[in-house]
Structure 1
Amino acid sequence: MDVDRARGVLLGLACGDALGRPVEFASASEINAEYGRLEEMVGHGTWNQPAGTITDDTEQALCIARSLVEHQGFNPADVAERFVAWYDSDPFDIGRMTMRSLSRLKRGDAWDEAGQHVWEQSREGQNAGNGSVMRCPPLAIPYASEREHLVEVSRQSSQITHADPRCTYGCAVLNLTLAGLLEDADVPLQDALEDVGSDVPDELVTALRPLIHGDAPGTLETSGYVIHSLQTALHDGLVAESSEEAIVTAVNRGGDTDTIGAIAGAVAGARFGATSLPDRWLRAIDESDELETLAEQLVEVT
């Protein structure tokens, strides 16, 4: 595996997250009115944080990556404990389903029970957010060549907080696509949709299949709904001609900018490598060195 592209997965995720953080929830027109085309790390804005600040997207991805390295493999109970410890640190940004699931974990639910309970108690429209797909890319690095196992651990990582099949299989499709990119597949998304399994929700396949050939619907949505986030981020990550173009395009669409930017960044990072990411962005992100080291260690996880 090309280590530079493994680094690109984690660093690209962080760059998209940090670039999108100050404009999260803003519309494309609002971003344009304030920044023109947002291409630089800026401070304040949504959440009122310094330039280069990561959000829950990268913070939870770090939890997964650190656990994978420490345990030399995926340990969902340990990942759940790390999520709870992060939750107890009072993060400034946390999704509702994640918060509800982690609250249940604190009260004693097992790692594979909390998210299930929250999902069963959530109505349609509030039960399939993007909170698990944004954090799952670290799993694609050590399991890139073990595709069946990658599907299993990706779905389990989602189930900790997001048990809806659109979320669990969404994580699997994203990670299979990343694995394909890391392994030099010719048609990584097509391979992902073929390998994910027969139980994958039709809505997910219908939304993503056109992207195989570079097509896209007339409107790419930017809500926090997992189908919208994956469709838009995979489109931007797979068709862009550089990592910077993918991330800037995704973020300037508005909406859930940090998460869609993070997913697009992970995909573009897997395509072009960490060396394709602007140094000015990486210097602004305090966690860049740790993310780079973790990516190198994840390549060696067996």
Structure 2
Amino acid sequence: MLEKPIKGRPGWKEFKEAVSKGKRAKRTGNGSSVRVAPLGIIHPPDRLAELVRDVDRACGITHNTKSALSAGCAIAAAFSAAIEVWELEDLINIAIEGAELGKKLGEDDLAPDVARRLKWLKKEVLEKEVSILDLRIKGLNPGFQAWEGATFALALVMLYENAREAILCAVNMGGDADSIAAMAGGIISARFPSTLPIRWISTVKRVNNLRMEELAASLVAIRLSKI
């Protein structure tokens, strides 16, 4: 389920091309980070090494670069901690730890260091109490590269305790808005479930014909089996 994209869905073409060539593709975009939420659900935070291993398995076939895998590990670790409703600083710390482990994977793509950017963000937001506009002025960009998207998403996680507000902020900021909104909104709503509008959930389920409750129950069952 986590290693093979569904035919016709986003990521399928890249997956098929990589497999047919017998080697991993070196993509650097947000596709690595935006697909890792299930891994954060099935792995408790104290199983970080296993989580990083599975991020490599799930994302490395299409995004085998240090920046993409580092970003994916950071987001997956944040999801894992959010489900446990960790304090914000602890959640960011394990995201940084995940990023540090993730950058040991994949091929060097000469991109900015995700862990270093997260450490900078943590200092700016948690110590200096800056706003998202302040961060934009200082160079934080909601871009399409993994080192941009993941760090912007986690900046929203640091700034917002309301999933709806964070998602709307991501959309209004532009860039890779859907990916960033999905990452930030998912992590924040795991910590503050009541802040994600029920109407939005119903619309997503209806339009995409999803059975989200069944999938969620299966993923949580895997997580509980590890505790």
Please tell me the TM-score bracket, short chain as reference. 0.7 to 0.9
Distance 1:179 1:147, change over 3 A: same
The reply to whether residue 240 of structure 1 matches residue 160 of structure 2 is yes
Matches within 5 A, 1:48-87: 63-64=1-2, 79-80=3-4, 83=5, 86-87=6-7
Please give the TM-score of this superposition, normalised by the length of structure 1: 0.60
Higher relative contact order (CA 8 A, sep 6+): 1
Aligned residue pair count: 201
Distance 1:132 1:211, change over 3 A: same
2:94 corresponds to: 191
Question: 1:160 & 1:190 partners in 2: Cα distance?
Answer: 27
User: Which of 255, 264, 268 lines up with 2:175 in the alignment?
Assistant: 255
| 8 A Cα contact 2:36 2:76, kept in partner | yes
Residue type of the alignment partner of 2:93: Q
Question: 1:188 & 1:256 partners in 2: Cα distance?
Answer: 23
Distance 1:264 1:195, change over 3 A: closer
Gaps of 5+ in 2: 105-111
TM-fit CA distance, 1:288: 7.6
CA RMSD of aligned residues (A): 2.4
TM-fit CA distance, 1:149: 0.6
Higher helix share: 2
User: Which of 200, 208, 212 lines up with 2:122 in the alignment?
Assistant: 212
Distance 1:104 1:206, change over 3 A: closer
Question: 1:267 & 1:247 partners in 2: Cα distance?
Answer: 11
Please give the TM-score of this superposition, normalised by the length of structure 2: 0.78
Gaps of 5+ in 1: 1-62, 65-78, 120-126
Per-residue CA deviation, residues 240-292 of structure 1 (Å, 9 max, x unaligned), is: 1311011110111012111111111111122212x321122122212486123
| 8 A Cα contact 1:238 1:268, kept in partner | no
TM-fit CA distance, 1:99: 2.9
1:296 corresponds to: 217
Residue type of the alignment partner of 1:280: R
1:74 corresponds to: none
Question: 2:100 & 2:181 partners in 1: Cα distance?
Answer: 27
Runs of 4+ aligned residues of structure 1 deviating over 6 Å after TM superposition are: none
| 8 A Cα contact 1:242 1:272, kept in partner | yes
Question: 2:63 & 2:141 partners in 1: Cα distance?
Answer: 20
The reply to whether residue 138 of structure 1 matches residue 52 of structure 2 is no
2:109 corresponds to: none
Per-residue CA deviation, residues 6-54 of structure 1 (Å, 9 max, x unaligned), is: xxxxxxxxxxxxxxxxxxxxxxxxxxxxxxxxxxxxxxxxxxxxxxxxx
The reply to whether residue 148 of structure 1 matches residue 148 of structure 2 is no
| 8 A Cα contact 1:244 1:277, kept in partner | yes
| 8 A Cα contact 2:18 2:62, kept in partner | no
Secondary structure in 1 matching 2:35: coil
Question: 1:129 & 1:196 partners in 2: Cα distance?
Answer: 15
- Identity fraction in percent: 24
Distance 1:135 1:200, change over 3 A: same
Per-residue CA deviation, residues 88-112 of structure 1 (Å, 9 max, x unaligned), is: x3x4xx46xx63442232x373xxx
